[in-house]
Structure 1
Amino acid sequence: MPPSAGSQVSRVPAQRTPPEELAPPAVAPAPRQPRRRLRTVLTVVAGVVAALCLTGGVVGYFVYDRATTPDRSAPDVVVDNYLRAFLVDRNDVRASIFICEGSTDLGQLQRLRDDLADREVRFGTTMSTVWGELQVDRDGDNAEVRVNLTFAAQVDGIRQSDRQAWTFTTRLNEDWRVCSATAG
């Protein structure tokens, strides 16, 4: 219906609600700051643990190396170690690290060890080998080491022993080695 001439119609423009994309974004809560203190502490602890492990590994290597390296520092030491490996332990591989490379004259000592093994079988016993003080006569890079070897066993309830004087010739190259052995 059309408005009458005397009436005044006031027109109010229709208001639209703005579209959502025009609306201001909702305020999001501020993100939490990462725990930098915890991260720093964990980094320091990991660094200290890594340093301790590395140090322990290096120290362990040197301790192991020192413990397993044969002592060939002196003529009497090398003879003592050689006798222990060759006559007591009867370990030819271990004994070989104490002898001179190339020319060696250790056949007489080998025959002695073979004789001791034969006696053990023949008498059903175990032969023990001991020695006392090693006397060293050094001349530059060569040295003679004299020692009395004592062989003992119990046969038929009776303890028996034999004592023999031996002379070992040693030589110094990078370290001391046993080159020869003679009885008498």
Structure 2
Amino acid sequence: MPPSAGSQVSRVPAQRTPPEELAPPAVTPAPRQPRRRLRTVLTVVAGVVAALCLTGGVVGYFVYDRATTPDRSAPTIVVDSYLRAYLVERNDVRASLFSCEGVAEFETLRRLRDDLAAREERFGTTMWVSWEQFQVNRVDDNAEVRVDLTFAAEVDGIRQSDRQSWTFTTRLNEDWRVCSAAAG
């Protein structure tokens, strides 16, 4: 009700709040931050796994490269590998890995291989080719490799063989390659 004109409003003096009530409210602990320990551990583990995978990939590449690159470190190794590829496996692509590019002279050796194939067909047998006694004469980046080739077959129960001396010329550029072959 509104105060009437003649009435007096009684005023209550302001009361002071007792000191206990002025104290700040009790402190509640701040919400805890989620623990980041698990995230840190997972990040470290992922980093280590990535580093191991990268290292394994690099090592794997070099091991694969070394295992698949033909050995052309010496004239005798190149001649041996060339003979195996050309005469035994009869693989021209593999043999080309051991021969000089563009300057190779192998006509005589090609005729020998064709003759061996013709004899196999004519006599219904298999010709075995082997070699031994490498003799190397090296002058700077060139080397002549003399080797005795042995051709053997069994025809009508009789083992037959023939031995021929061959000279292979090799050249060192980045690695050794066979550049020519000649009988005698």
The range that moved more, 138-147 or 149-158, is 149-158
Find the counterpart in structure 2 of residue 45 from structure 1: 45
Find the counterpart in structure 2 of residue 6 from structure 1: none
How far 1:141 sits from its partner (Å)? 1.1
Find the counterpart in structure 1 of residue 68 from structure 2: 68
Q: Using the alignment, how far apart are the partners of 1:126 and 1:45 within structure 2?
A: 60
Find the counterpart in structure 2 of residue 125 from structure 1: 125
1:147 aligns with 2:135: no
Q: Deviations over 1:133-161 (max 9, x none)?
A: 31110011111001011111121122221
Overall identity of the aligned pairs, in %:
81
How far 1:30 sits from its partner (Å)? 7.0
Find the counterpart in structure 2 of residue 180 from structure 1: 180
Q: Using the alignment, how far apart are the partners of 2:152 and 2:30 within structure 1?
A: 90
How far 1:107 sits from its partner (Å)? 0.5
TM-score norm. by structure 1 comes to 0.80
Question: Which secondary structure does the structure 1 equivalent of 2:133 belong to?
Answer: coil
Aligned pair in 2 of structure 1 residues 34, 155: CA closer, same or farther (>3 Å)?
A: farther
Q: Using the alignment, how far apart are the partners of 2:125 and 2:143 within structure 1?
A: 36
Counterpart code for 1:42: L
Runs of 4+ in 1 over 3 A off after TM superposition: 29-33
1:91 aligns with 2:91: yes
What RMSD in Å do the two structures reach over aligned CA positions?
Answer: 1.7
The range that moved more, 85-94 or 152-161, is 152-161
Q: How many residues align?
A: 157
Q: Using the alignment, how far apart are the partners of 1:107 and 1:146 within structure 2?
A: 18
Specify every segment of 5 or more residues in structure 2 that has no aligned partner in the other structure, as ranges: 1-28
Q: Deviations over 1:96-140 (max 9, x none)?
A: 121112222210000000011111111111111111131110011
Find the counterpart in structure 2 of residue 158 from structure 1: 158
